[in-house]
Amino acid sequence: MLLTVRDLSVSFGGVHALNLSHFSLEDKELRVIIGPNGAGKSTFLDILCGKTKPNSGEVLFNGTPVLGKTEVEIANLGIGRKFQKPSVFPSLTVYENMLLAFKMKKSILASLFFKPTEEIDTRIREVAARVGLVKELKKIAGELSHGQKQWLEIAIVVLQDPRLMLIDEPAAGMSDEETEKTGELLMQLSKQHGIIVIEHDMKFVEQIAQDLVTVLVRGKLLVEGSFGEIRNDQRVIDSYLGR
């Protein structure tokens, strides 16, 4: 198992945001998490990347305990996170934004004197090609379309070469065409990385859910199964899909 989670619990001011009894992910698995607003989906990813500290529980990544480690330590272990809201630097070019993925691994002092090697340059172009941003490399990131900004963010995570990618609502606000392209990209990426994706758009979920789908409701695991199984599960229909 790439990731094993047990009895993870976190509350904010007395409100139980997450109470996850178990969750596990295999290497190179693409897992989709769905559930109503406030179900604890983003909180779960926040815990996995070290942004939020749980009250109790256990998280093993590749056999290594993760809880108690800092965000940087967890990133260096190989867990990369793409947040829900775009956070690229709008005044830098696409290329410069991608370069930052390498600088982030260095100390502040080392990053000041950082010069891209040919190897890094090649890797940036490779990843840009994968996410469909080759022609945009010199463009200012702030001028990209919404979809392109999301792909740039995914590219920045890919450049850190994580074994596990955490991706929160990548298709939010995208056109149908952009959504489909994003789905194809994620399926490509899952050949090399374990991926957990949070998503609302059921058409998109159907496109990418080749493995298991996990349904969270009110912080708890309601059910796990294939897309076909969860779509026809009465509990899922009652608590999420039917609304």
CB of 241 to Mg ion, least distance (A): 17
CB of 159 or CB of 213, closer to ligand ADP: 213
How far apart CA 152 and CA 133 sit, in angstroms, is 8
State in angstroms the smallest separation of the CB of 182 from Mg ion: 17
What is the maximum alpha-carbon separation in the chain?
Answer: 58
- Separation CA 38–CA 66 (nearest Å): 24
Site for Mg ion in 40-69 (CB under 5 A): 42
In angstroms, the first-to-last Cα distance of the chain is 34
Nearest distance in Å: CB 39, ligand ADP: 4
Contact string 23-42 vs Mg ion (x = CB under 5 A): -------------------x
Nearer to Mg ion, 45 or 158 (CB): 45
**CB-nearer residue toward ligand ADP: 40 or 147:** 40
Alpha helices in the chain (DSSP H): 41-48, 71-77, 94-103, 108-112, 118-131, 146-159, 176-189, 202-208, 227-231, 234-236
- Whether the CB-CB separation of 41 and 8 falls below 8 Å is answered with no
Please report how close the Cβ of residue 234 comes to ligand ADP at its closest, in angstroms. 21
The answer to whether residues 56 and 9 touch, using CB atoms and an 8 Å cutoff, is: yes
Least Å from the CB of residue 10 to ligand ADP: 8
C-beta closer to Mg ion: residue 101 or 171: 171
From the list ligand ADP, Mg ion, none, partner contacted by residue 170 (C-beta under 5 to 8 A by kind): none
- Report the interface residues with ligand ADP, using CB under 6 A: 12, 15, 17, 35, 37-43
> Given the complex with Mg ion, which of 42 and 207 has the nearer CB atom?
42
The item of ligand ADP, Mg ion, none sharing an interface with residue 70, based on CB under 5 to 8 Å by kind, is none
Neighbours of 220 (CB within 10 A): 15
Is residue 128 within 8 Å of residue 53, measured between CB atoms? no
What residues make contact with Mg ion under the rule CB under 5 A? Answer: 42
